[in-house]
Structure 1
Amino acid sequence: MTDLPFDIVSPEAIREGRATDAYFERTESTLRAADKNPHVAAEVTADQFPDGEFELLAGIKDAAALLSGHDLDVDAIPPGRLFDGGPVLRIEGPYLEFARLETSLLGLLSHASGIATAALEARRAAPDSSVLSFGARHVHPSIAAVVERSALLGGVDGFSHVAAGDVIGREASGTMPHALIICFGNGHQEDAWQAFDESVPEDVPRIALCDTFSDEKDEVIRAAEALGDRLDGVRIDTTGSRRGDFRHIIREVRWELDARGREDVDIFLSGGLGPQQLRELRDIADGFGVGSYISNAEPVDFALDIVAIDNEPVSKRGKLSGIKAAYRTADGEHHIGLRGTEAPPDSEALLEPLIRNGSVIDSFDYSLETAIERAARDASLVDF
């Protein structure tokens, strides 16, 4: 059946507010029937007070796309800033303008921020190594661009998903899978490496996968001999069930390459790696592919709560009433206070105007390039 549809909620359904929880539709119907549509301030928060556990904000571009065109004013922390408690986004306007958008808004921010935070953890674990995002295969393909954009925002050097690259305007990276080697057959690894070298564009690095049929050291030596000076690097992706002492294996590989005068050949590692493994291996490897640790990161547990009605403070139990501001001090601390009260000394306000009267503010910079710079700067400032 060639026209069998994918289970994908369309962008139109998201923009129209159909991608919502049923109780928001019922809330909307009830308020309209009661002729009630109060002017509210609502804030997106993960934690009420700072606790020293910073997370990286992402998803603001998509939030702006969702909320624009509605009779609202929105302030937000720019993407790429680290936050610790308090609001990351605030909406002010008639409640019915955004009630049914809450589900999608929280999903856009929660998922992207969780991925970006995990990517930043990987980046900080191996600051001098090449780190690539290899995890798009672990998520639904419809969100691959979200994964890769968020991973880049967190500081990784590249990603593997081709269509995601089309969406975000970046070129995907990657060389060869085990399937390529297997197609040539056991004992014919050299044929696979040489065929790859002869067929791919010159600007693609010649990185040979060297752990398919035999010992990693054996295949690395054979790849170096087969490709000679054209070999840029080797990748070791040995499955965990066969890995043993991974650090010792990589040290052996490095030794054998150096013994043959191939200090120029880089070693890249992949397969079930996270920050702990990157810290343990960063002194003997040149780069890493990080998959599920980034792509399958736990979403940030954001909630959206009304904190004022007609400028009067209000909240449900367990939440802080009143419209709030968030600040970063010069020493990297995160502070929360009521809007309009005195800011902490030597601090900057983190929330900036994003939307006014339904239109996105031109000066709000949510570009990926700027967000990447913010993330690196903030990570150093707060010692993430």
Structure 2
Amino acid sequence: MNSADLGRRVGVPSTALFTDQYELTMVQAALKAGTADRRSVFEAFTRRLPEGRRYGVVAGTGRVLDAVENFHFDDEMLAFLRDQRVVDAATVDWLADYRFRGDIWGYPEGEVYFPGSPLLRVEGTFAECVLLETVILSILNHDSAIAAAASRMSSAASGRNLIEMGARRTHELSAVAASRAAYIGGFHTTSDLAAGFRYNIPTVGTSAHAFTLLHDSERDAFRAQVDSLGRDTTLLVDTYDVAEAVRTAVEIAGPELGAVRIDSGDLLLVAHRVRQQLDELGATETKIVVTSDLDEYAIASLAAAPVDAYGVGTQLVTGSGHPTCSMVYKLVARAESADPRDPLRPVAKKSLGAKTSRGGRKWAARRTDAYGVAEAEVIGTGDVPADLVDRQLQAELVRGGEVVAREPLEAARDRHITARAGLPMSAMQLSRGEPVLPTEYV
């Protein structure tokens, strides 16, 4: 686990049972058939972006690397599989020695993607690769959905601070992953201490309405908070009367008051009134933070308001209407035997409708125009055209079972800023539309 990324290694458990049963039963059947050791290539990709989205954001890669590294079966897990007759004894014995020893290539975390983009390419034997399907998709689908929502909110905020505060709106472990993904997508801080502890994301938080209601008066509550946390704290001013609360807040904290938070009402109107009142009271440097079920559209609607920061919860941790990216993990090439000299041949599902896929071990590159703006996602097999060699998107992540691409979370965050800036301007539009780049297969 990457100390620069996670900050601390906190009792990381095995990820081996974060999987579907049919992954193991396929291994059992393949072992019996003598095909389990055939060299194989799996790819994770999405056939389409969520409806109306113009680009996707890769997030969760660092967590995938941790999951692969910690994918092994301990004695208790093996006993469970044996006792429940999930697989036979020979397969249990094989699983006892399981470690992924193959190679993984993929889009670096924070990069943008489009339909068909080979986000992750997993190479090894069929058995060792197929076991990773569920955990890889679980992580990438969740984290990329949150990062895409965060990116849209970040674009709408136009540089104003964004606070992730959705822990109470989702599963406690999902909340930590969501904080991480939101940070990659452009958020600045989180209210979730577990996320701060694990990933070194800056944390913030002061008080809720309950703290004001606890005290005999709003004045007493503000005094207690300022005495404890200092004049630069953020006071919540909408428990009773906003105008009266602002007057009291400045009277107690003085013009050094850090910020006021508004959590209800017509935020556009109230923010303007509060800004005017703060300025009249001499608190010209006091910031205004708004919360209350915000999404990217609400943030955009407040662009003309004197708001300094947005706190976002429910809509962020649920992907703002798209909680998954519908990524799939498909076998795209395999050899006729386990012989490393045996060439790979393309394979692909040929079902009817929209669930077809393209065979072959793929590369990906992004073509740009004369101004350096991206104009197409180019995907192919075989040799990479000379003009695209320097624009390839996949990076080596795992070599021979060893992770080779650890990086700080800040690197993924910075990469996303750069990648998003390289897209056509229409990518920032919140109106529904098609992917901003076409996918070209060569």
TM-score, structure 1 normalization = 0.89
Deviation at 1:80, TM superposition (A): 0.6
Map 1:167-246 onto structure 2 (within 5 A): 167-185=198-216, 188-200=217-229, 202=230, 205-212=232-239, 214-238=240-264, 243=265, 245-246=266-267
1:175–1:206 CA contact under 8 A, matched in 2? yes
Residue 341 and residue 183 in structure 1: after superposition, are their counterparts in 2 closer, same or farther (change >3 A)?
Answer: same
Map 1:16-35 onto structure 2 (within 5 A): 17-35=16-34
Deviations 1:11-51 (A, max 9, x none): 5341xx222111112111111122221211110001279x9
Deviations 1:198-231 (A, max 9, x none): 112x5x841110001x222221122112221331
What residue is the counterpart of 2:314 in the other structure? 292
Deviations 1:303-322 (A, max 9, x none): 00001112101100210111
Long gaps (5+) in structure 2: 1-10, 70-98, 336-343, 351-355, 428-442
**SS of aligned partner of 1:333:** strand
Deviations 1:330-359 (A, max 9, x none): 321342322333437366100011111111
**SS of aligned partner of 2:387:** coil
Provide the C-alpha distance between the structure 1 equivalents of 2:273 and 2:48, rounded to a whole number of angstroms: 50
Equivalent in 101, 108, 119 of residue 71 of structure 1? 101
Provide the C-alpha distance between the structure 2 equivalents of 1:306 and 1:236, rounded to a whole number of angstroms: 51
Residue 371 and residue 105 in structure 1: after superposition, are their counterparts in 2 closer, same or farther (change >3 A)?
Answer: same
Farther-moved stretch of structure 1 (151-160 vs 257-266): 257-266
Deviations 1:256-281 (A, max 9, x none): 22222322221110010111111121
**Structure 1 stretches of 4+ moved >4 Å:** none
Provide the C-alpha distance between the structure 2 equivalents of 1:251 and 1:178, rounded to a whole number of angstroms: 22
Deviation at 1:246, TM superposition (A): 2.8
Map 1:1-384 onto structure 2 (within 5 A): 12-14=13-15, 17-37=16-36, 38-47=38-47, 53-68=54-69, 69-85=99-115, 86-185=117-216, 188-200=217-229, 202=230, 205-212=232-239, 214-238=240-264, 243=265, 245-283=266-304, 284-297=306-319, 298-310=323-335, 311-317=344-350, 318-330=356-368, 331-343=373-385, 345=387, 348-361=391-404, 364-382=405-423, 383=425, 384=427
**SS of aligned partner of 1:345:** helix
1:44–1:90 CA contact under 8 A, matched in 2? yes
Deviations 1:239-294 (A, max 9, x none): xxxx2x33112211112222223222211100101111111213321111011121
2:18–2:134 CA contact under 8 A, matched in 1? yes
Long gaps (5+) in structure 1: 1-9
RMSD across aligned C-alpha pairs, in angstroms? 2.1
Query: What percentage of residue pairs aligned between the two structures are identical?
Result: 27
Opposite residue 189 of structure 1, the aligned amino acid is E
Opposite residue 225 of structure 2, the aligned amino acid is F
Residue 115 and residue 354 in structure 1: after superposition, are their counterparts in 2 closer, same or farther (change >3 A)?
Answer: same
Provide the C-alpha distance between the structure 2 equivalents of 1:374 and 1:253, rounded to a whole number of angstroms: 37
1:77–1:350 CA contact under 8 A, matched in 2? yes
**SS of aligned partner of 1:53:** coil
TM-score, structure 2 normalization = 0.77
Provide the C-alpha distance between the structure 2 equivalents of 1:32 and 1:253, rounded to a whole number of angstroms: 69
Deviation at 1:116, TM superposition (A): 0.9
